[in-house]
Amino acid sequence: MNLHETLRKIAIDINLNPDELIRYADADTIGGWNADETQATFPCGSIWGVEGQILYALICATLPEHLLELGAFQGCSRTHLDAAVYVNKLGEVTSVDIAYEADYNMDAVEFLSTSKQMWDFIFEDTNHSMELTRDIWKLAVPKLNPGGIIVSHDAMHFGVGANVRAGIGAAGYASHNYLTAPSDCGLALWRKPLDTTVKPPTRKSATKPRKKSKTSKAAAKRQAVVVKTQIDRMDKA
């Protein structure tokens, strides 16, 4: 599937507006890893640009307040998350990584076991073993607010995709899985049913100040350039 086909499928699967998702995704020019190295803006090990666009579009469409990233590496997915939060004027991102710079330098399972925070959006991109994926989903899904979204990376990868999908299944969840060209990694996505008694946030109500980002200096610099581009584009639109 190409990016727009993926977004149309996601819109059907988790009840979002496809045109809105496509409009948001097209505004994200941050990029990411790409096997064509002339197109890569982040190193190997990062998410692909199209996957960053999907995360960005999901965040713009659902306006999450508390976002969690498990597996930060060199800041690619974090940059997409930060840019979406900036444009939304709502939300704060928390990153956890066992080895790379993050808000919490610790094991993802240990973090989820000890944190009392509830989340609206969780992006998991750790070691892609069946066991770790299972343990993370088992702990993370109960900490999702109604309507909250969890996404795992590499769910369609020829090497580790089967582990990721088996881990999600072993945790008891049936994810929607997408492979979006030119990526060979893929995303697994699951949305908690909405609580129909609670009004979802709207752009008008999204006025809470954002928490200052704690990305690395290099990522923060890249982010500033990207966010300026986003805002210039939105102003022109």
Ligand X SMILES: C[S@@+](CC[C@H](N)C(=O)[O-])C[C@H]1O[C@@H](n2cnc3c(N)ncnc32)[C@H](O)[C@@H]1O
Residue closer to ligand X, measured from CB, 11 or 47: 47
User: Which residues between 30 and 89 bind ligand X (CB under 6 A)?
Assistant: 45-47, 70-77
Q: Token match 């996601």: residue? A: 10
Residue closer to ligand X, measured from CB, 92 or 124: 124
Closest CA to 108 of 118, 119, 97: 97
Q: How far is the CB of 120 from ligand X (least distance, A)?
A: 18
Please report which helix (H) or strand (E) contains residue 14, including its range: helix 3-14
Q: What is the largest CA-CA distance in the chain?
A: 49
Pairing of strands 187-191, 144-153: antiparallel
Q: What is the DSSP letter of 158?
A: T
Residue closer to ligand X, measured from CB, 5 or 131: 131
Pairing of strands 187-191, 176-178: antiparallel
Q: What is the DSSP letter of 48?
A: B
Q: Token match 């993802």: residue? A: 108
Q: Assess 26 for contact with ligand X (CB under 6 A).
A: no
Q: How far is CA 183 from the centre of its chain?
A: 15
The rounded distance, in Å, linking the Cα atoms of 82 and 227 is: 9
Whether residue 65 contacts residue 201, with contact meaning beta carbons closer than 8 Å, is answered with: yes
Sole binder of ligand X in the list 16, 107, 143, 157 (CB under 6 A) = 107
Residue closer to ligand X, measured from CB, 73 or 119: 73
The rounded distance, in Å, linking the Cα atoms of 30 and 117 is: 29
Q: How far is the CB of 143 from ligand X (least distance, A)?
A: 16
Residue closer to ligand X, measured from CB, 100 or 173: 100
Q: How far is the CB of 176 from ligand X (least distance, A)?
A: 20
User: Which residues between 163 and 182 bind ligand X (CB under 6 A)?
Assistant: none
Q: How far is the CB of 124 from ligand X (least distance, A)?
A: 9
Residue closer to ligand X, measured from CB, 58 or 70: 70
Q: How far is the CB of 183 from ligand X (least distance, A)?
A: 12
SS3 call for 69: strand
Residue closer to ligand X, measured from CB, 73 or 121: 73
x/- map, 122-161, ligand X, by CB under 6 A: ---xxx----x-----------------------------
Instruction: Give the residues lining the site for ligand X (CB under 6 A).
Output: 45-47, 70-77, 96-100, 107-108, 125-127, 132
